[in-house]
Structures are given as structure tokens and as C-alpha cells.
Structure 1
Amino acid sequence: MNVRTICLAILYDGEATGYEIRKLSVEGEYSYFIDASYGSIYPALAKLEAEKLVTSRVEHQDGKPAKKIYSITAAGRAAFINSLFDELGEDEFRSEFLLFARFASELPASLVETRLNERIEQINVMLADFDKLSEDHPHPGDTWVIDYGRTCMVAARDYIQAHRGELIALARPDSGSSAAAE
């Protein structure tokens, strides 16, 4: 999936500014699908507009710069749906937590335990966010996607809780010096 597709997906649900598209793709409900930068969103929107898949209008604001609001056209809706017929790419998964876990043997046990506790708390916050998303998005497709994400996060939390002792056991004793201090 590319930035063009995520822009069309967001606009499929309603009008949005480039800023709102960025926010939805980084912090909002679309952040689970693709990360889109401002540097890629605006060129994609310009190209989509040139292809008549989206339109835009300028809205003036008192005391603020004018904002450009994008809307999807009928041709844009069709192009978006057609893009979903394309073969899907592989999911990308990056995790600072897993990098930390990879090097747990080089770290003090108390730090490893602290990071595990923090990760469990982060997952609990994500699960609460999924609950809020469920309340705000009654569409059956949204429900399925949210339940899928929830299931993945519950499995991750359960794995950490069940195997935390193994990772802590790999770590260095707290009384020893760390590699960074040497």
C-alpha cells in the first residue's frame, strides 16, 4: 500500500486537509496501516488532484492561514476500491522494544524488568484505545480490524507476562557494571 492509497482511503470517509491526513496516518485510526510523511502526502494529493481523483477548496480562517480541504471524487472512490484488488505487500513491523529485548543480555536485570513493565502498560493503553475506537466506529469492517489488532496486542502482552522471567534471566546482575560505564 502506498501514500496515494492511504490518502484516498482517508478521503473515502470524508473531507480532510493534508494535516488531518498526516495526523490520521500517524496517530489516528489509519496509523495501523501505513505511515505517511508530509513530504509524501502533499505530492500525492497534488497528483491525485491532477488526475481528477480528488478536488480541493480553500477555506479562509480568521487570524489563521487559509487551509486547503480535499474531497474524493467518484473517480477517486472507484480508483481506491480498484487499488484494493492489487496484490498486498508484506506487513512491516518495527519495534524498539524488540531491539531492546534482543540486547537484554547486555543490560542490568532491573532495567529489563522496568522495560517489560513499561511495555505491558503501553499495551494496556493501546487496548484501551482500541476500546475507544470500537465505540466510535460501528462499521463491521472497522470492528473486524479493531478486533484483529486487539487480539495481536493481547497475545503480545500475554507472551511478555508468561516469558518475562526468561528475558530477565538473560540480563546481567544489577551489581555488575554495564558496558556503557566501562
Structure 2
Amino acid sequence: MNVKTLCLSILYYGEASGYDIRRLCTEEEFAYFVEASFGSIYPALARLEEEGCVTSRTEQQTGKPARKVYSITETGRRIFAEELAEPLGEDIFRSPFLLFARFAHILPPDLVEQRCNEFLARTVKSRQRLDEAAAREGRNPTDRWIIDYGRAVMEVAEAHMRTHMHELVTMARAEPRKDAAE
């Protein structure tokens, strides 16, 4: 899935500016699908507009610069559906915490414990946000299914961390540090 498809997916439900799209795909409900930066969103929107998949209008704002608001066209809806029908790529999972955990054996136990607790707190917070999203009225069945999937993943991550965090802390400094002078 590419940034153009992500933009179309957000616009499928209503108008949005490039800023709105960025916020939705980093902080809100589309954050679980594809990561997109401003540097990729605006060129994607420009290409979509050239291809007739979206239209735009300038919206004046009081005390702020005008903003460009995009809407999906019927062509955009058709192309979006065609994109969804294409074979899917592999899911991508990246975790700075797992890189940290991979090298826990060279770190001090108190630091490993601190990072584990921070990860656990973020995981709990993510699950709670999904719980709140699930409680909101007016969700369609596919939204509910996706939210429930996310909640299940967060519950497993939380349970694993609570059950096995001590193992990672115990592994800390299991290997002597290698000094650069050696």
C-alpha cells in the first residue's frame, strides 16, 4: 500500500487537508496502516489531483493562512477500489523497543527495566485508546473489526511484557561490555 492509496482511503470518508491526512495517519485511526510524512503526502495529493482522483479547493481561515482541502472524485473511488483489489504486500512491523531489547545483554539492568516499564506504559496507553475508540457510537462493522484486532494485539503485547519483562532485565549485562579500546 502506498501513500496515494492512503490519501484516497482517508478522503473516501470525507474532505481533508494534507495536514489532516498527516494527523490521521500518525496520531489517529489510520496510524495502523501506512506511515506517511508531509514530504510524501503533498506530492501524492498533487499526483492524485493531476490524475483526476481528487479535487481541491482553498479554504480561508481567520488569523491563519488559507488551507487546501481535498475531496475524492468518482474516479478516485474507482481507483481506490482497484488498488484494494491488488495483492497485498507483507505487513511491516518496526519496533525501536525490540532493537533495544535485542541488545539488553550489554546494558545496565536498571536501564533495561526503565525502558521495559516505558514500553509497557505506551502499550497500555495504546490499548486504552483503542478501548475508547471501540466504545464510540456509530462505528461500522469493519471499523469495529479492525479496532478489535488492534486491541487483541495490544493485549498480547501487554501480557507478554508483564509476564516476561523480568527475563529481559535478568539478561542485562549478561555479556561483558566491549570497550572500543580493545
Structure 2 unaligned runs (5+)?
none
Matched, 1:59 2:59: yes
Counterpart for residue 102 of structure 1: 102
Counterpart for residue 49 of structure 1: 49
Q: CA deviation at 1:63?
A: 2.1
Quote the Cα distance in structure 2 between the aligned partners of 1:115 and 1:47: 42
Quote the Cα distance in structure 2 between the aligned partners of 1:149 and 1:179: 40
User: Is the 8 Å Cα contact of residues 58 and 68 (structure 1) preserved in structure 2?
Assistant: yes
Counterpart for residue 37 of structure 1: 37
Matched, 1:89 2:89: yes
Quote the Cα distance in structure 2 between the aligned partners of 1:74 and 1:95: 38
Structure 1 unaligned runs (5+)?
none
User: Is the 8 Å Cα contact of residues 108 and 178 (structure 1) preserved in structure 2?
Assistant: no
> Residue 12 of structure 2 aligns to a residue in which SS?
helix
User: Is the 8 Å Cα contact of residues 3 and 40 (structure 1) preserved in structure 2?
Assistant: yes
Quote the Cα distance in structure 2 between the aligned partners of 1:134 and 1:121: 20
Counterpart for residue 14 of structure 1: 14
Q: CA deviation at 1:165?
A: 2.1
Q: CA deviation at 1:66?
A: 0.8
Q: CA deviation at 1:156?
A: 1.0
Q: Structure 1 residue runs of 4+, over 3 Å off?
A: 177-180
Aligned CA RMSD, in angstroms, stands at 1.8
- Matched-pair identity in %: 52
- Residue by residue, what CA displacement relative to the aligned partner does 1:125-167 show, whole Å, maximum 9, x if unpaired? 0011101222336111111111111111111111112212221
Give the TM-score, by structure 2 length. Answer: 0.91
Quote the Cα distance in structure 2 between the aligned partners of 1:179 and 1:139: 55
User: Is the 8 Å Cα contact of residues 25 and 36 (structure 1) preserved in structure 2?
Assistant: yes
| Residue identity matched to 1:138 | R
> Residue 13 of structure 1 aligns to a residue in which SS?
coil
Quote the Cα distance in structure 2 between the aligned partners of 1:168 and 1:61: 52
Q: CA deviation at 1:25?
A: 1.0
- Residue by residue, what CA displacement relative to the aligned partner does 1:100-124 show, whole Å, maximum 9, x if unpaired? 1111111111221122122111111
- Residue by residue, what CA displacement relative to the aligned partner does 1:84-109 show, whole Å, maximum 9, x if unpaired? 10011111111111111111111111
User: Is the 8 Å Cα contact of residues 123 and 153 (structure 1) preserved in structure 2?
Assistant: yes
Quote the Cα distance in structure 2 between the aligned partners of 1:60 and 1:179: 59
Q: Bigger shift: 159-168 or 13-22?
A: 159-168
| Residue identity matched to 1:28 | E
Quote the Cα distance in structure 2 between the aligned partners of 1:141 and 1:41: 25
Quote the Cα distance in structure 2 between the aligned partners of 1:27 and 1:54: 23
Quote the Cα distance in structure 1 between the aligned partners of 2:63 and 2:149: 43
Give the TM-score, by structure 1 length. Answer: 0.91
- Residue by residue, what CA displacement relative to the aligned partner does 1:15-54 show, whole Å, maximum 9, x if unpaired? 0001100111111111110111111111111111111111
